Amino acid sequence: MSQAQDGRGEPDWLSFARQVPSPNCDERPADESVRLVVIHAISLPPDEFGGPEILQLFTNCLDPAAHPYFREIQGLRVSAHFLIRRDGELIQFVACSRRAWHAGVSNWMGRDDCNNFSIGIELEGCDRLPFETAQYLTLNHLLAELHRRYLIEAVVGHRDIAPGRKTDPGPYFDWHRVHDASG
């Protein structure tokens, strides 16, 4: 796989992440650059962890017959740039220079379609359980690298850009454990 380069000549695929390319992405608008990081939470099936289903969803391979919930999301085409598993494993699905399809209908500081200028990070989790220490350690390492590469203005939750529609990363996500250099 050839590696696209960002504006500083560095690969858009991070060497410390396992790479599982998703087809659910496209080009960012020419006048957009990465300015925002959006934190999400996902579990498939809901409230279950550790299986291959998130990777299958982001690569359009999820079997709708494998679980009743999967029939509800059949045909959904979504992705994120990164997933942090419960054990801290980091998986990258989309090059940082490209638009991952993670935010949906969204607005940040008066700007619609946050996919255009954000990087999406999914944490394997839900609204009913705390996240793991290993996830915060990986998240902070990833955020430090993203701040080094891009002019990140903010790190926000999905709920912050889609209020009333989304709740993630949820009430058990501890923002005090996030080292956000954007302030």
Which residues are designated catalytic?
A: 122
Is 24 in contact with 55 (CB distance < 8 Å)? no
Query: What is the token pair recorded at 14?
Result: 């991070």
The DSSP H or E segment spanning 140 is helix 133-149
The contacts of residue 170 (CB under 8 Å, 6+ apart) are: 41, 125, 126, 127, 128
CA dist 175 → 39, 90, 130, 179 (Å)? 10, 19, 12, 9
Residue type, 182: S
Distance CA 157, CA 118 (A): 12
Is 169 in contact with 178 (CB distance < 8 Å)? no
